[in-house]
A and B are shown apart, each in its own frame.
Chain A
Amino acid sequence: MIQTHATLITREVLGAGQELRLYAPELVRQLRPGQAVLVRGGWGADPYLRRTFHPIALDDETWTLRLPPSGDWAHAWLRVAPEGTELDCIGPVGNGYHLRAQARNVLCIGEGDAAWALLPAILDATASGLTVTFAMEAGLERDLIAAMRLPAAVEYHTATPDAAGRGRLPLADMLAWADMLLAAGSLDFYERLATEIEAVRFGVIEGFAQALYPATFLCGYGACQACVADVAGGRRRVCRRGPVFDLKDVTRVR
């Protein structure tokens, strides 16, 4: 983990969101899909807390963060920071997704804004020659990740379920096909996912599915105890044990 400055090199406005591409080669060398970076959104003492971002794109020297539509004041500062601004970053935080050597068919499942964190993992998986299917749920069609953001070889399924849960992703076939699953969403989403896996695969087997825990970090290195979560084994610091957990560890305690 390092504290470093990342230079804002490009800003892309996409609907109500923005994507900021940041030059930070030293950080990027250590950063893996699913890990977090803590970014200050301002120069002064307010807002004091760093904001937690998971990269939505990684290349040799840059990483990209996504600012979702929100009223958050640190996001607002980042939204108007001019190109060339030096952003104070600490990272990488915790453990990211890892691709098992034996995996061939990788299913990536995301829900809402959290799904963006899967994009670098999808690129890694396709670059490694794995077959990837991406499935995403969002409340509105406009919140779905555009298909053009994905490699051509990736099969893409989308769903926009209503408030009652009608119109959700039909996961059974996909779960039967996959030999590895990467997920990003809410804890309720993971609970539903675990239930579906149990129905299709007769149990959530350790090592099959990885889930990005939805946490906000204060220090990111295990001192402050702000990010603790109840996972298998007890109450643990997400920044040390996660943020990517085995799905079994996240769901069986709920």
Chain B
Amino acid sequence: MSVELAPGNKRGLTLASPLIAGSGAVGYADAWPPGLTAAMFGAVVTGPVTLRAQRGAATPRLAEVVAGFALEAGDHNPGYHRVLRDHDAAWRRLGVPVIVALGQSHPEDWVRLAQHLEEESGAAGLELVIPSSAGRAEAGTWISATRRAATLPILVKLPVASAEALAETCVEAGADALVIGGGLPAVGRVVGPEGHGRDALWIEGATGGPAAFPFMLQALRAVAALELQVPLVAAGGVTRLDDARRCLGEGASAVQVRSLCWIDPARVAAIAEALGPLPSANEENTP
């Protein structure tokens, strides 16, 4: 079952499976959980990349919420130059498309990043993560500028709360596909030694896990109802095969899994097998 995520783009972005490893699920395609290989996915989205190195959020970063967690890592990354130096060769050998996520902390840098990535990397596409605070005008400006700077397929990841409101603007600005998910805030209590020995320590971050699913699904339906003629990708709280099938049935062309790779890789493998057939990727390149 192959999927075309950029039908309006000359370069195209063809996936051999509708299952995508979501942003950072396998780091920069260098951190693989036990039992998972690139061949199980139609594409891999990297962790966030920014122009300069980012230390990310303060610690602790992880807290538990009902049926999920709050994680605030910021755009922690060593900067695009080092990411390419360390990982680009592996991306080119991976055997499945690698989509590079551009960090949301500095959208004003997306143009330069897109140029660098197009010229210097084996990236098959870009994922632009629209900050939750962004309005139509900002989102449109950032995307159209990035579109002019690079020919790579552009996937725009929309915050759940504003996905419906921003979707049309993003497509008009040049998005090849829309990723529905992300930007869902959560506040949770820190578990483990960081949270012991003092009053409960609470942190605020993005929701991960099944808690995000109903909100993402609602946003997916709303965007699908707009009939924008671009592929949609569901990305938020998909933790069961039924969830993935439901998203595909509600208008998504592909589904991203992230937290499930971290929590239960065996279940990801089962979903991949059920959604197959598996692509003929080079398994040797995934440790």
Interface residues of A (CB under 8 A from B): 1-3, 40, 45-52, 72, 88, 90, 114, 186, 214-216, 218-219, 221-230, 235
Q: Are B193 and A225 in contact (CB under 8 A)?
A: no
Q: B59 contacts which of A45, A222, A223, A228 (Cβ < 8 Å)?
A: A228
- B69 near A228 with CB under 8 A, answer no
- Contact yes or no, B62 A228, CB < 8 A: no
Is B192 within 8 A of A48, CB to CB? no
Please tell me if the beta carbons of B56 and A228 are within 8 angstroms of each other in the complex.
yes
Say whether A3 contacts B194, CB under 8 Å. Answer: no
Cβ contacts under 8 Å, A2 to chain B:
34-35
If over half of B's interface residues share one DSSP class (helix, strand or loop), that class is named, otherwise mixed; here it is loop
B192 near A215 with CB under 8 A, answer yes
Sample of 6 further A-B pairs with CB below 8 A, known A90-B265, A219-B263, A228-B56:
A1-B33, A48-B209, A214-B192, A218-B71, A223-B27, A224-B73
Quote the shortest CB–CB distance from B287 to chain A (angstroms): 10
| Complex alpha-carbon distance, A224 and B262, angstroms | 7
Q: Is the interface of A mostly helix, strand, loop or mixed?
A: loop
Q: Assess the A48–B69 pair: CB atoms within 8 A.
A: yes
Given contacts A216-B192, A223-B262, A49 and B67 within 8 Å (CB-CB): no
Are the C-beta atoms of A221 and B33 separated by less than 8 Å? Answer: yes
Q: How far is the CA of A1 from the CA of B32 in the complex (A)?
A: 10
Name B61's closest neighbour in chain A (CB-CB). Answer: A226
CB nearest neighbor in B for A214: B193
Which chain A residue lies CB-closest to B190?
A216
A224–B25 Cα gap in the complex (Å)?
A: 7
Is B239 located at the chain interface by the 8 A CB criterion?
yes
**Chain A residues positioned under 8 Å from B259 (CB to CB):** 48
In the complex, the answer to whether A48 meets B67 with C-beta atoms within 8 Å is yes
For the complex, is B42 an interface residue (Cβ under 8 Å from A)? no
Residues of B within 8 A of A224 (CB): 24, 71, 73, 262
**Least CB distance, A95 to chain B, in whole angstroms:** 16
User: Is B31 a contact partner of A226 (Cβ separation < 8 A)?
Assistant: no
Contact partner of B191 (CB less than 8 A), chosen from A3, A46, A49, A228, is A49
Q: Please tell me if the beta carbons of A225 and B47 are within 8 angstroms of each other in the complex.
A: yes
Distance in angstroms between the alpha carbons of A230 and B190 in the assembled complex: 18
Given contacts A221-B31, A223-B24, A226-B73, whether A72 and B210 have CB atoms under 8 Å apart is no
Q: Which 9 A-B pairs have the closest CB atoms?
A: A216-B192, A219-B262, A214-B193, A223-B31, A222-B31, A226-B62, A225-B73, A223-B27, A48-B209
B123 / chain A contacts, CB cutoff of 8 Å: none
Please encode chain B, from 3 to 38, with 1 for each CB lying within 8 Å of some chain A CB and 0 for all others.
Answer: 000000000000000000000111100111111000
Q: Is there contact, CB below 8 Å, between B266 and A3?
A: yes
* Chain B window 53-81, contacts with chain A (Cβ cutoff 8 Å), 1 for yes, 0 for no: 00110011110101111010100100000
Q: Which of chain A's residues have a CB closer than 8 A to the CB of B66? A: 46
- Please name all residues of chain A whose beta carbon is closer than 8 Å to the beta carbon of B263 when the two chains form the complex: 40, 48-50, 218-219
Task: Verify A218–B24 contact, CB threshold 8 A.
Answer: no
| In the bound complex, CA of A227 to CA of B31 (Å) | 14
* Cβ distance A51 to chain B, nearest Cβ, rounded Å: 8
> Which residues of the partner chain B approach A49 to less than 8 Å between Cβ atoms?
62, 64, 69, 191, 263
Please tell me if the beta carbons of B193 and A218 are within 8 angstroms of each other in the complex. no
Docked pose: A222 CA to B262 CA in angstroms: 10
Residues from chain B with a CB closer than 8 A to the CB of A51 are 191-192
The reply to whether B193 and A88 form a contact with Cβ atoms under 8 Å apart is no
Please tell me if B108 contacts chain A, counting CB pairs below 8 Å: no
A46 to B71, CA, bound (A): 16
Q: In the complex, are the beta carbons of B193 and A114 less than 8 A apart?
A: yes
Looking at the assembled complex, report how far the CB atom of B70 sits from the nearest CB atom of chain A, in whole angstroms.
10
Complex: how many Å from CA A48 to CA B67?
5
| B34 and A3 form a contact (CB under 8 A) | yes
For the complex, give the distance between the alpha carbons of A50 and B33 in Å. Answer: 14
Docked CA distance A218–B69 (Å): 10
